[in-house]
A and B are shown apart, each in its own frame.
Chain A
Amino acid sequence: MTAIDLSLRVEPGTPLLELENLRTHFKTERGLVRAVDGVTFTLNRGESLGIVGESGSGKTVLSRSIMGLLPSTAVNHGVVKFAGRDILGLSSKEMRHLWGAEMSMVFQNPLNSLNPLMKIGKQITEPLKLHLNMDKIDARDTALQLLRDVRIPEAERRLDQYPHELSGGMRQRVMIAIALACGPTLLFADEPTTALDVTVQAQILDLINEQRRNRNMSVILVTHDLGVVAGHTDQIAVMYGGKLVEYAPTKSLMRSIPRLEDPSHSRLATIPGRPPDLVNPPKGCNFAPRCLYAQPKCHVEEPSLTPAADPAHVYACWYPVGTPEFEKRDAELQETGYMPDDISAVS
């Protein structure tokens, strides 16, 4: 690995990434799509954050907004500070010096995210030549080392192979090697394991985590799978309808995941309905129309993020578990036997 001291870039005490009321809207023929609608959080150097949410919740758009990788139909508002510097208004020409160098991204589908007509070696050395001005020989040596870092067997031979000659897991490792090539301080991993075999998924996640520790890099892991973030991130942000609805240390949030210890016949709770229309979002809480516990207030007023018992854990809900209103409604639901699954079968 070429020794580049990245710690110098961030002033001590400055968070690596700060988001303040980030909104990303798309102009479409149907109207303005509020894909990301007011997201605020802070991420420190070396920390990892998992962004979870169902399809259409805006998590992928959020990560691409931060990186500035969205097409011109997207309009951004708010503040995104990277190492203390506002980057939201930067043109793609200016952002280019950050892409691959300071922040990089691993995409969902390794089958499509590598150029099928370009040798692996060339795809890895491209950013090295671009950002670090390496010559051909240095870049090749570095690429070789990177492939070894991501534990690809027979690394030397792989450099001259094409993506179609590698397995899916191997390709995702190559993708990670490319993303790590210039030693970025922030890595986005957008559903990095969704397209992979179950057996390979854990390996890839462990690899990302290991590289994060070795390189003192921050990672934002975007996924719809809570199991993925459980063991691999420090913080979890839950998105719904373009908004951040919960933000917490991983440990404190993980209690809401179904566990293997649960009786084996209890069905997983599915939520009826579909994600909110982001052109005409519902009044009040975005989730209220699908929420079995919704009260009149939920349909009128939008809840804001409030701290829980653990002040690091914030959530946006008027009547969370434990409030009298929740317990009362819960008792009613139990009584009628009207459980969520039943509706989902109908809807």
Chain B
Amino acid sequence: MLRYTAKRAFLALMVAFTVSFATYFLLFLSTDPALVIAGEDAEPDVVAQIREQYGFDRPVFVQYLDWLGGVLQGDFGKSIYWRQPVEDLIISHAPVSLQLALMGVFVTIIVAIPLGVIAAMRPNSIVDRFALSVAISAQAIPNFWLGLMFIILFAVMVPIFPVSGDETWQHFVMPAIVLGTSSVPSVMRLTRTGVLDVMASDYIRTARANGFRTYRLLVRHALRNALLPVVSVLAVQLGAKLNGSFITETIFAINGLGRLTLESIYGADIPTVQMLIFIFALMFVVLTFLSDVLNAWLDPRIRLG
């Protein structure tokens, strides 16, 4: 187990570094930060001076190592657009995003898992077909459009929840539903397949043949095994929600990390964008690592195989 964990941790670390360099390099190639700071119609010698002052004239690799050294010491760089340290920006915007992502995953869980289980208990029944059409529809709905529909419907016709801002928990209800919907299809399908597989397994058949009630079997024995892969997918979905919420945050005027990234991109604020994308990648890597380790701990076949 320790060996497996160490191996996974090393891989996660490598991936995080590779991703940070790839992002740095791509953003470096795509624009000229000196020109952004100086403004579009600045004199060439002013641009040159800024380039030298900020060190943009050095080779990309040197700049990257410089940046990485800072990050490792807790210095995330200084935002060009917001004119404050990037770490302050991240700390002030993170809680809102985290709350939204957790609530989104919660919505996914309470919709997708029961739906998947019920569908699997009666394969090819009306319930199963209904669950499948929910999955197919949710996959095809543009998420940002769903958000707008909710705003039109609930803000104007049935004003139950506020549709803009992030002051109270009620503000998060509608965005969380919108954000949660996007991962309902995958989690539901996975739950359904998992339960179907387990219910067809020998130990369940034996127990049924011995007269156990199906419902009790499901809750006591089948779900535990069937939901193993679902747990790891949910961890990954949480990571995806943290960075995928930028559209939802924009629509519902929630001042989280996603919206911060978007506005930094519009402001051509490369240090902030670079750091945020790295943070998102890092969170994804960490969550994947945790879910791998959790799975290996729960299922010895993975760590030994």
Do A and B truly interact? no
